[in-house]
Structure 1
Amino acid sequence: MGMRTTISERQRRLGHELKKLREQAGLSAGEAADRIGMGRGQLSHIEAGRTSILSDRLRHLCQALGCESVPHIESLVAMSEASGKGWWSAYKGNIGSAAMNLAELEAGAASLRTHEALFIPGLLQTEAYIRTIFSSPKLNVRDIDEATAFRLERQAILTSESAPAFHAVIHEAALHMRFGGPTVLREQLLHLIEVAQLPNITVQIFPFGADLDAALSGTFLHTITPVRELSTIVLDHPAGSLYLSDDEHLTLYDTMFDRLTESALAPIGVRTSEELATKDSLALIQHLLYTL
């Protein structure tokens, strides 16, 4: 099998998970390779994501490394067998690798959790809002069209047959950012209310004056897979994206998201008592709409 010239996050993650299993078993690359009749160099390339591994051999390797969880092994096999040629493949060469990796991660998630401070989450944005965000002297019209179309196509996952549960905590500051002017923002806020009615979507607003420690969590996306150990935290930065997958990071972000949801207002669409009716997420958005 030839060496890959570019390595996707899924391919890198598969190799990382195999290396983690090997290290947990206390084996060197050479010792692990010997157990399944493989060369040390070949295993090293697999762990680095540079080359693939056949499904049966992958199962054999996992068992040789002491992994007894069938769901875990089969999830790794699914990662290995995935072609990576989803709908996003049509954008290859026109869209950056970070966005391509994100689409593939979302496609494999059972649920998604996100916290945004200044923007409406990408999966909930209107076309006008998206175009405004991508409008830049550095991008030509074609680039903006491609980026907008890609993000809109990403959103289809929320209404697909296998739609993941999506829970967003959005800081109130994002509702005041008039990207594109009041008309664009008004349309975006109305859209936010509309999509929050879907059974798999939960939207909470984190108000000004809420718990400071929770607010310091920063923005992130948590793609949660059926096997928790294979979940991923995605952190965006100007140069691309950072992917966290160690158990301590997964636990940390689980805890932070729980604190965010506890400090945020009641979700849109969830009935509250008359006493709290003016303090829930829907009421806050409706109040802002009156000012636009």
Structure 2
Amino acid sequence: MTTRREPTARQLRLALELRRLRHAAGLTARETAALLDVSHVQISHIESGLSGVSEERLRSLAANYACPDGELIDALVAMATDRTRGWWEEYRERLPTPYLDLSELEHHASFRWDADFLHIPGLLQTEDYARALFSYVNPEFPGKEVELRVEHRMKRRVIIERPHPIPYEAVIHEGALRIRVGDRPATRAQLTRVLELSEADHITVRVIPFDLDGFAGAGSAMVYAGGPIPRLDTVVRDGPHGTAFLDAEAQLAHFRTLFRRLENASLEPERSRDVIHKLAKEL
């Protein structure tokens, strides 16, 4: 099998899960290779995402690891045999890899949660809002680079706009709704867009108000993408050194709990719409 030059985040996740299964079984890569009668280099390539793995070999690995979780194995097989070349591939070598990895993650997600405190979440943004944001954050970018990022962000909205969209929930702090990323008309249009989307059956928007007592969670921004089973969920966080994809079980449990705390601190959807409507009228 051809060795990959740059595995995607999804391919690396599959590789990581296979390595976790081997570690849980207490086997070394050499011992696993001997059981399958292959070289340990091949096992190393599979576990680093540099090589794919067939369904037959993956199930053989699971059997040798005595993994009892049939749902997990079926989900890993689906990941290993998926040959999707999604719309994001047209941006390969045109945008940084994390942009494409996020698009692929969203494409396969079973649900999506967003929590944001400074900006409107990307899936809810208008073109003008996204353009103002990218232009400000990257003032050295030529116009075509900004437009490329805006175009990509707008295409990502397909997961909540397609005929069979995924359930989507956004918790947004009032501060993010009040900050004028663009001018007054652009801000009003952005709030109107959020209101329109919040009326959809599969979309829930909740607002954390300024006047909430005892709220110290403003550093908890996250994207939480549901996998086919909870173990394969993923958290995405942006930091000063780039985008991080988090998937350790303890991390996932932490962010699931954290999102529920943010949800409980927020207003009910109807009251949240009232807040957004009021802010839009004030502009």
Name the TM-score, length of structure 2 as normaliser: 0.95
AA in 2 matched with 1:241: T
Is the partner of 1:243 in helix, strand or coil? Answer: strand
Check the 8 A contact 1:214/1:263 in 2, yes or no.
no
Give the aligned partner of residue 198 of structure 2: 196
Flag structure 2 segments of 5+ consecutive residues without an equivalent: none
Work out whether 1:8 is the aligned partner of 2:8.
yes
Kindly indicate whether the alpha-carbon contact (under 8 Å) linking 2:19 and 2:47 is maintained by their aligned counterparts in 1: yes
Q: Is the 8 A contact 1:214 1:260 kept in 2?
A: no
Deviation at 1:124, TM superposition (A): 0.5
Q: Match of 1:291?
A: 282
Unaligned runs of 5+ in 1: 271-279
Which residue identity lines up with residue 10 of structure 1 in the other structure? R
Query: How many residue pairs end up in the alignment?
Result: 281
Q: Tell me if structure 2 keeps the 8 A contact 1:214–1:256.
A: no
- Could you tell me whether the CA contact under 8 Å between 1:224 and 1:231 is conserved in 2? yes
8 A contact 1:134–1:147 mirrored in 2: yes
Contact 1:221 1:233 in 2 (8 A): yes
Deviations along 1:164-189, one digit per CA (max 9) or x if unpaired, are 11111001110111011111110000
**Aligned equivalents of 1:259 and 1:214: distance in 2?**
11
Distance 1:161 1:248 in 2: 34
Q: Map 1:26-105 to 2 at 5 A.
A: 26-83=26-83, 85-105=85-105
Structure 2 vs 1, CA of residues 58 and 36 (structure 1 numbering), >3 Å: closer, same or farther? same
Counterpart position of 1:227? 229
Paired with 1:12 and 1:32, the residues of 2 have a C-alpha distance of 19
When residues 153 and 121 of structure 1 are mapped into structure 2, their CA distance, relative to the original with a 3 A threshold, is same
**Aligned residue type for 2:253:** T
Of the candidates 154, 157, 161, which is equivalent to residue 156 of structure 2?
154
Hey, which bits of structure 1, 4+ residues long, moved more than 3 A? 211-214
Q: SS state of the match for residue 215, structure 1? A: coil
The reply on whether 1:281 has 2:268 as its aligned counterpart is no
Question: 1:97-125 CA distances to partner (integer Å, 9 max, x unpaired)?
Answer: 11100000001110011100101000010
Answer with 94-103 or 127-136: which moved more. Answer: 127-136
Q: Report the equivalent of 2:241.
A: 239
Q: How many Å apart are 1:233 and its aligned residue?
A: 0.6
Deviates more, 1:228-237 or 1:66-75: 66-75
Greater mean deviation of Cα atoms: 65-74 or 250-259:
65-74
Change (3 A) 1:217 1:254: farther
Distance 2:14 2:50 in 1: 11
Counterpart Cα distance in 2 of 1:160 and 1:43: 39
Letter in 2 for 1:150: H
SS of the residue 1:23 aligns to: helix
Residue identity opposite 1:169 in structure 2: V
Distance 1:252 1:289 in 2: 34
Q: SS where residue 222 of structure 1 aligns?
A: strand
After superposition, the CA RMSD in angstroms is 1.5
Q: Secondary structure at the match of 2:157?
A: helix
Shift of 1:31: 1.5
> Displacement of 1:190 after TM fit?
0.4
